[in-house]
Amino acid sequence: MPWWLNCYNKDSMIFIFVFFLGAVLGSFLNVCIYRLPKKESIISPPSHCPHCGEPIRYYDNIPIASYLLLRGRCRYCKAHISFRYPVVEGLSGLLSLALFIKYGLTLQSLLLLLFSAALIIITFIDLDYQIIPDTISIPGIFFGIGASLFMPRVSWLESLFGILIGGGFLLLVAVGYKWLTGREGMGGGDVKLLAMVGAWLGWKAIPFILFSSSLIGVLIGGSSGLINKTGLRSKIPFGPFLSLSSILYIFFGPELINWYITYSVRWGL
Ligand SMILES: [Zn+2]
């Protein structure tokens, strides 16, 4: 039997279904990413082409597939559709599938999916506008502490300390940087985002997230600074790095921390 027929079993059907549901969620996240910074309603009017205003029919709104079938163009006016749409749908699908595989069909995985969805919205809005919308981060803080009551991984006290330590640390950095240099280095958006991350993942996650997001930031910022010759001082949004580190922590955090502790003791670091 060929390998691809071998994949046709109950498990892979469930995986495809979970991925598809996640991609449908991604399609809603695209609407939020496009409309929230413009202060438009995310419910009405229904999706339409931003170029010609023609409503998008349900058969042209199938995640990823429609983009491929239409070859990335509007059916009516042939305007280019941003590649970001299928990327966000694919990301959302993959994250849903990964959470389902790691945590099963549990309340915890649904709550973590909600958190991940907020991080996806924040990442793509921050990339486009260099802002982190308060409409996501502030409710996110309260949802995080509420979610801790239902999630075994973080207690409500760890969540509360996560808000204080996460938000407090970046607030100190922001105030200190401005005091030393007279320039705005870090926006208030990042402060609220790390408070939200602390609420969801607990204070123990904060050192890992600060360390790994700075490392990713230096690697990406350094290489893009070299490519653009703009230097390291060019403003790079920090939100996407904080978000990516939070996702890494959800899946590999405790393992990576244990690995670090083991090796730092062994090497005497
Ligand atoms: Zn159009």
Taking the centre of ligand 1 as the mean of its atom positions, its distance from the CA of residue 12, in whole angstroms, is 36
| pLDDT tens per residue across all 269 residues of the chain | 665 666 667 788 899 999 999 999 999 999 999 999 999 898 888 888 989 999 999 899 899 999 999 999 999 999 999 999 999 999 999 999 999 999 999 999 999 999 999 999 999 999 999 899 999 999 999 999 999 999 988 999 999 999 999 999 989 988 888 888 887 767 789 999 999 999 999 999 999 999 999 999 888 877 776 656 554 445 678 899 999 999 999 999 888 888 888 887 777 65
pLDDT for position 191: 93
- Going from the Cα of 73 to the center of ligand 1, the distance in angstroms, rounded, reads 8
| Cα of 47 from ligand 1 centre, angstroms | 11
Whole-number pLDDT of residue 50: 87
Please give the distance, rounded to the nearest whole angstrom, from the Cα atom of residue 119 to the centre of ligand 1.
29
Tokens representing residue 184 in the block: 């705005």
pLDDT of res. 4 = 60
β-partners of residue 80 are 73
- What spacing in Å lies between the alpha carbon of 129 and ligand 1's midpoint? 24
Q: How confident is the model at residue 7, as a pLDDT?
A: 60
Output the pLDDT for position 140.
97
Residue 181 burial (10 A CB sphere; 0-12, 13-18, 19+) = exposed
Alpha helices in the chain (DSSP H): 3-6, 10-35, 65-69, 84-103, 107-129, 134-147, 156-181, 188-201, 205-228, 239-266
CA 21 / ligand 1 centre spacing (Å)? 26
DSSP 16-50: HHHHHHHHHHHHHHHHHHHHGGGT--SSSSPPB-T
3-state class (DSSP) for residue 183: coil
pLDDT value of position 228? 60
How far away, in angstroms, is 67 Cα from ligand 1 center? Answer: 13
77: its two tokens: 């006016």
Which token pair is 43?
Answer: 């419910």
